[in-house]
Every structure is written in structure tokens, then in C-alpha cells.
Structure 1
Amino acid sequence: MTPPRFGPRVVVVGDVAVDVLVEPCSPAVAGADVPARIRTRAGGAGANTAAWLAHLGADVTLVARVGDDPAGRAATDDLRAAGVRPALAVDPELPTCTVVVLLADGDRTMLSDRGAAARLAPADLPSVEAADHLHLSGYVLLGPASRAAGRAALARARAAGLSTSVDPQVAPALGAGFTDDVRGVDLLLPNAAELAALGGAEALRGVVGAVAATDGPAPARWTDRDGTRTAQPPPIEVVDPTGAGDAFDAGVLVAWLTGAGPAAALEAGCAARAAAVGRLGARPG
């Protein structure tokens, strides 16, 4: 049973995934058998953000699509254990999203098979009228088959009077079409590479209400019509950067939705990011 929450009521629309974490014991060599430490963790950008939101006190519902498989069935229990209310559609054909994460030297490379998540549809979206805010993972907008669901989620949220936010997620896939899709969003949450792909914060003035951008160990920046504010992340030894941006999103959102100003919201996002990268896996412990 999901425990009661008294913070902001947030609907997250995004992916649920199984993360396969691979740490090679030595550099990979083509054609060789390289020893590695391999573990699985619950993941998915949308699910990670939802788990961090719940960890920070929000009342969270996650909307996603999973496969009719053990991973999909386990996702419901994992989310409930994290304090998240699952609203999961089940795809009868495609498997639950799986991401292989290669970890080396404090960085990560991801190999993704979105599976059932790629077929999230407008019909999978529940009512949002009882919520305060809708957060959308950019993967939904960037997938050709799921884009309609992402656009519908934002439209329904606006019609119901909710505030909205989007994390772009994938810098190489961003372009003019994505900018059109997020026009009117209250808060965009890119990392530095995604922000550059979108033309920078100044190019987004008049497109979104504000931009809160994370940049690893460099200062995070909030840009809106009143100017730019910054926050310096705390020093931290990076164990696993997977989910860092998802945690940053959650920290910023909970602070902002409970009345914090831009600088304080950035500080909360940086603190959540630091907690995420200091441990293995993309969700709270």
C-alpha cells in the first residue's frame, strides 16, 4: 500500500525500465571475454524522478507502459515500495524497457531498448484533475510512437490548470520539433548538453516559463524573464552518475512547488543530484 503523502501532488509521465549495470574490470577488447561486475536495478527516467519525488515528500503518480513480463510485474511492487502510485498500462507484445549501463571512470554509456515504453498512448493517460503538477520525460516526446501521448499529457495538464515541466533527456535528438512540443511549459529541466542542443537559455525565452539547467560539478542555472540565478553543487565522489538528472529534477520540483525561489530550488536539485551520484543505482536507497 502506498503511504499517504502531504507534499505537492505530481503526475509523472515517462518510462519504467530495468537497468543492467556493467562495470568492466579492465578495458573491453573486441573478441575477448572481459570480467565485469554486473547487477540489475530498477530504472527508467520517469520512474527514477517519481521515486526521488516521493523520497522528498511529494504525492506521486507514475504513468508508464510496461511489458507483460516479470520485469513489468515487478515494477508495480518496486514503485509502491518507493512510495509511488503506479498507473501502468501493460503491452501484450513488447517487453519492459531495458537499459544496459556501462560504467567506467565516473561516467556512463547507455544502450537502451525502450520496448513497451515506446508505445505509450493517449489512452494510457489517467485523469490529472486532482494533481498540482505534471512532469514529462522527454523520451516520451522524442519517440515517434509515444509523442502523441506526451503532447496529450501536456495539453490535459494545461486544461486542468496544472503547472508543467519537461526534462529533454537526449541531446542528439533535440530540434525544432521538440521546441514546438514544449512551448508553454512552465519549467524546462535540461543538462548542459541538452540546453546547448536547444540553442541555449536565451533562445528559450518566450518558449518556456523558466529553464533550470544542471551542469555536473559546474553551477546549476535558473533562467527566466527576471534573469539568471545560480547554485554551486556540493563536492561529491561520483559512484554512479545514472539518474543524476532525474534526481535533480525531483529536488528542484519539490522545492519550487512548495514555494522556494529559483536559487533555493536549484540548491535542492543539486543536493538531490549529489545523493544520487554518491551511490549505485538511479533511485533512492
Structure 2
Amino acid sequence: MTPPRIVVVGDVAVDVLVEPRSPAVPGADVPARIRMRAGGAGANTAAWLAHLGADVTLVARVGDDPAGRTAVDDLRAAGVRLAATIDRDDPTCTVVVLLTDGDRTMLSDRGAARRLAPADLPSFEEADHLHLSGYVLVDPASRAAARAALAQARAAGVSTSVDPQVAPALGPAFLDDVRGVDLLLPNAAELAALGGVDELRDVVGAVAATDGPRTARWTDRRGTWTAEPPHADVVDPTGAGDAFDAGVLVAWLGGSAPAAALEAGCAAGAAAVGRLGARPVSSPTPSPARRRC
């Protein structure tokens, strides 16, 4: 039994978490609790994958700055291999996350991440699976790298998954780009933006959709399976979907049935929302894995 070898293509970022102590007023100085945490959807999923026992490599582009160097060191300490390109011109991606009443508003500057290029991609010959962050695919600046990753993974016989992640940017072009992907991992808003699960049946192999604290659903050509997320006291919803992706992928690639894969994803998502920040806090731990023949 060996862990699945997963390549994640996505962003490494610094999250600036802002919790106003009173409603924001234009032109005023509003007291707030401000913290900096490691972030980036791709990096978050990679960290959760390592935490759950996967053999994971993250492909990303970071700035030649303290934030980028710290982020790379943090990910390595979390058990993630890095195929990171250092960008001399743009800073490491930064995301300001405004937290209010259990909800969030995100202000993003992708910086070096938007310059990810096909030349930054590694070989997929030694991988079992490619997971692609939707931020890379929907940004015109990095779209070529995302499309190249999917094409190269398919040519190598590697299974693929995509988390859409940017509901307002989804449309026909996105559907064309993800055609033939094995697993799509949208949340409820992203699924609605794509026209619902019926529109995706002939586009991707399966859809594993989350809806916050409500029922998660897996749909493929065989049918539909569901799982109920465990109760969680929400401290910070940032990264919940990234953790869900990791839980689903480790279980699914390990041979679990759809319902069990959803349950694993929901458990990881619940663990993520119960703390401040988008990453797991403990060291990587073993998990059930797929047998290779």
C-alpha cells in the first residue's frame, strides 16, 4: 500500500485576515483584529493532502521576497514537495480576507501567481493524479499553464480534478477547458454558475459539490450519493473548500466509494472552519492509500 502521488497546480499566497470590531465606515479608522496566515487555494489543498497522507507536489510561482521564501519553507515543513518558480518581477500573491459574522470577503492580488507558465510545469510521468486550482485556469494570464497541465496529465494517463473556485468568471470557455476532467469540485455558487449538475454530465466524469453546512453531493453517470457535513463551530471559513478537496481526493484515489469520499471531504472541511487560517495545524499523518499493481 502506497500513498497516491498527487500534483497540485495552484497559487501560494499570504492571507491577511481582518476582523473589524465594529462595522466599517467610509473615511473612518475602524479597530480590527488583523493576522497574517499562509494561504493560496492550491497551497492549502496541498497542505491538507500531505496532512491526510498523500505524496504531494505543488507547482506554483512565488515572488523573490520574504513572503515567498517563508511560504515555501512552511509548505516543505508541512510535508509538501515544491516545484516552485521564483519570479523576479512580481510579489508573492496576497489576499486580504475580511471576516464578518462567519462570512468572508476576499480582495486578491495574484502577483507572481498570475505569471505561471507552461514552462514551469514538471513531468507528470511519475504522478497518479493532477489537481488544478480554478484560479489558474480562469485568469487569462495563467490560463495557458492550466490548459497545458491538463493536456500533459491526460497524455501521461493521469487522472484529473479541478476546483472552479471563481463563480463570477465561469462560463462556456471554462466548460470547454475542463471537458474530459475526471472530477469537478464546485461549491453551490460555482455549480449554479455552470448551469447545474445536469449541464455537466457530458462534460466531466463526476461532480462532487459542497454547499457549506448543507448536504454534499457526488453525481456521475451511475447516480448520485450524498453526505451530511458534521457540525462545526465556524471560526474562519477560509480554506474549507480546499480542505474538502483534499479529503475527497485522498479517499477517492484510495478506492473509497463516492459517499465515503464525500464524508472524508466534509470531515476535512469541518476541521478547517474550526480554526483561524486555511491550513491544518498538526504534522502530516498516514492515511489509507491505494494499492498499486
TM-score category (smaller protein):
over 0.9
Residue equivalent to 2:285? none
Question: How far off is 1:6 after superposition?
Answer: 4.0
**Are 1:112 and 2:114 counterparts?**
no
Residue equivalent to 1:190? 186
Question: Runs of 4+ in structure 1 displaced over 6 angstroms?
Answer: none
Look up the SS of the partner of 2:199 in the other structure.
Answer: helix
Look up the SS of the partner of 2:76 in the other structure.
Answer: helix
Report the residue type matching 2:32 in the other structure: A
2: CA distance between counterparts of 1:22 and 1:115?
Answer: 20
Residue equivalent to 2:241? 245
Residue equivalent to 1:103? 99
Counterpart contact for 1:135–1:165, Cα < 8 Å: yes
2: CA distance between counterparts of 1:278 and 1:117?
Answer: 28
Structure 1, unaligned runs of 5 or more: none
**Are 1:233 and 2:219 counterparts?**
no
2: CA distance between counterparts of 1:272 and 1:76?
Answer: 23
**Are 1:163 and 2:135 counterparts?**
no
Residue equivalent to 1:275? 271
Look up the SS of the partner of 1:212 in the other structure.
Answer: strand
Residue equivalent to 1:217? 213
**Are 1:17 and 2:32 counterparts?**
no
**Are 1:262 and 2:262 counterparts?**
no
Q: Identity over aligned residues, as a percent?
A: 84
Look up the SS of the partner of 1:233 in the other structure.
Answer: coil
Out of 175, 200, 205, the residue aligned to residue 201 of structure 2 is 205
1: CA distance between counterparts of 2:132 and 2:198?
Answer: 22
Structure 2, unaligned runs of 5 or more: 282-293
Look up the SS of the partner of 1:37 in the other structure.
Answer: strand
Look up the SS of the partner of 1:144 in the other structure.
Answer: coil
Question: How far off is 1:63 after superposition?
Answer: 0.1
Residue equivalent to 2:141? 145
Out of 9, 13, 37, the residue aligned to residue 41 of structure 1 is 37
Report the residue type matching 2:153 in the other structure: A
Higher RCO (CA-CA < 8 Å; seq separation 6+): 2
Residue equivalent to 1:79? 75
TM normalised by structure 2 equals 0.95
Report the residue type matching 2:135 in the other structure: Y
TM normalised by structure 1 equals 0.98
Question: How far off is 1:94 after superposition?
Answer: 0.5
Residue equivalent to 1:127? 123
Look up the SS of the partner of 2:176 in the other structure.
Answer: helix
Counterpart contact for 1:6–1:57, Cα < 8 Å: no
